[in-house]
């Protein structure tokens, strides 16, 4: 009966080992962490005629339910603005400036801006991308970190739709390739 004893001893030993291996790791819960969270988008517009006339709209909590309290851009009609966009990830400590990272990879990013008037109103706003990436011919292509925005003569309200397209190895100057990293809208009032 020796082997029986031996085997049962081994068995008990293994049970003990396995039972001892149970740790309560699951009770320490890690916070949720997104490598590419964007919590904050800020669109800052400077009147080309007056450097002190700066209009800023900020959308917070983009990665969850989004807060638009300070998002509205109050603009003057018939005015040209220099625009710049900043994206932040405040879930990290210290806060990560995603715009800086995008600036390093401009060859695969494109910001797409589109103004849409509310309802049947006819206010307009045109957007020109003023920066360029370093893609080889037929590039370079625009990026959209900096822009020139021109309001039309008609007062009214609308929204500036901003989409960040990620286009690795496929950027061709259009919005079609790639996928969206950011897709949001700033409310706009033109007076």
Partner 1 sequence: MPIHRFAYTLLFVTVSLLPLTVLGQATCTGALTGRITGQDNGQPLPGASVYVRERQTGAITDTVGVFRISPLCPGTYTLTIEYIGYKTLTIPATVGADSLTTLATIRLVPDNHTLQEVVVTEHRSEAQKLLQVQAGLSGNALNATRGQSLGESLKTLPGLYSIQTGPSISKPVIHGLYSNRIITLNNGVRQEDQQWGTEHAPQIDPFLATRITVIKGAAGIRYGSDAIGGVILIEPAAMPTAIGLGGELNLVGATNGRQQTASGLIEQALGGPLKGLSWRVQGTLKKVGYARTPDYFLENSSYRETNYSAGLNYTRQNVGVDLFYSQFATRIGLFRGAQVGSLSDFYAAIARTEPLRQPGFSYALDRPYQDVQHDLFRLRAFVRSDRWGTLTATVARQQNVRQEYDLLSFSRSTDPELYLKLVTHTADLVWEHAPVPTKNGGRWTGSAGFSGITQGNVRRFLFLIPNFRNYGAGLFAIERYARGRWTVEGGLRYDYRWLRAYFRDEVTDRVTNQTRDWQNVMGSLGATVQLTPELALTGTFSTAWRAPNVSDLYSDGLHQSAVAYERGNPNLNPEYAYNTNLNVEYNRNRLRVDLGLYNNRINNYIYLKPDSVPIVRQRGAFPAYTYNQVLATFRGVDATIQYKLLPRLTLVSKTSLLFAYDHTNNDYLVYIPPNRTDNGLRYDFIGTDGSASRRVSGLYVSANVLYVARQNRAPAVSERQENGQLIFTGDFAPPPPAYTLVGAEAGMRWQVAGHPLSIILTGSNLLNRAYRDYLDRFRYFADEPGRNIMLKLRMPLGQRKS
Which positions touch partner 1 (CB under 8 A)? 3-4, 6-8, 10-11, 14-15, 18-19, 21-38, 62-64, 66, 96, 98, 101-102, 104-105, 108-109, 163-164, 166, 168-170, 176-177, 179-184
Question: Closer CB to partner 1, residue 71 or residue 96?
Answer: 96
Closest CA to 56 of 84, 88, 78: 84
Smallest distance, Å, CB 22 to partner 1? 7
Q: How far is the CB of 152 from partner 1 (least distance, A)?
A: 27
DSSP state of 142: B
User: What letter does residue 141 receive in the DSSP assignment?
Assistant: -
Please report how close the Cβ of residue 148 comes to partner 1 at its closest, in angstroms.
24
**CA–CA separation, 160 and 8 (whole Å):** 74
Alpha helices in 36-189 (DSSP H): 98-104
Residue 158 and residue 161: Cα distance in Å, rounded? Answer: 10
The residue among 171 and 190 lying less far from partner 1, judged by its C-beta, is 171
Instruction: Report in angstroms how near the CB of residue 92 gets to partner 1 at its nearest.
Output: 10
CB of 186 to partner 1, least distance (A): 14
Specify the residue, 76 or 161, whose C-beta has the smaller distance to partner 1. 161
What count of residues does the chain have? 191
Kindly give the residue spans of alpha helices, DSSP state H, lying in the chain.
Answer: 2-20, 98-104
Q: How far is the CB of 21 from partner 1 (least distance, A)?
A: 7
**Closest CB to partner 1 among residues 38, 43:** 38
Task: Give the residue carrying structure tokens 């031996």.
Answer: 6
Measured from the CB atom, the residue of 81 and 109 that comes closer to partner 1 is 109
Choice between 114 and 153, CB closer to partner 1: 114
3-state secondary structure 11-37: HHHHHHHHHHCCCCHHHCCCCCCCCCC
126 close to 106: Cβ distance less than 8 angstroms? no
């Amino acid at each position: 009966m020796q082997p029986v004893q031996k085997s049962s001893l081994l068995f008990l030993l293994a049970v003990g080992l396995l039972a001892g291996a149970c740790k309560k790791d699951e009770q320490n819960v890690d916070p949720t962490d997104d490598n590419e969270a964007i919590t904050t988008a800020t669109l800052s517009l400077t009147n080309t005629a007056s450097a002190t006339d700066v209009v800023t709209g900020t959308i917070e909590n983009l990665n969850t339910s989004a807060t638009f309290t300070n998002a509205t851009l109050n603009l003057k009609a018939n005015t040209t603005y220099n625009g710049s966009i900043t994206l932040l990830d405040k879930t990290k400590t210290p806060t990560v400036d995603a715009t800086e990272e995008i600036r390093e990879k401009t060859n695969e990013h494109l910001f797409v801006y589109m103004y849409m008037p509310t309802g049947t109103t006819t206010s307009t706003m045109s957007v020109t991308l003023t920066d360029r990436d370093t893609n080889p011919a037929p590039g370079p292509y625009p990026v959209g970190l900096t822009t020139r925005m021109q309001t039309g003569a008609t007062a009214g309200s609308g929204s500036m739709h901003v989409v960040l397209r990620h286009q690795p190895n496929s950027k061709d100057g259009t919005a079609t390739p790639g996928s969206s990293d950011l897709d949001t809208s700033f409310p706009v009032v033109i007076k």
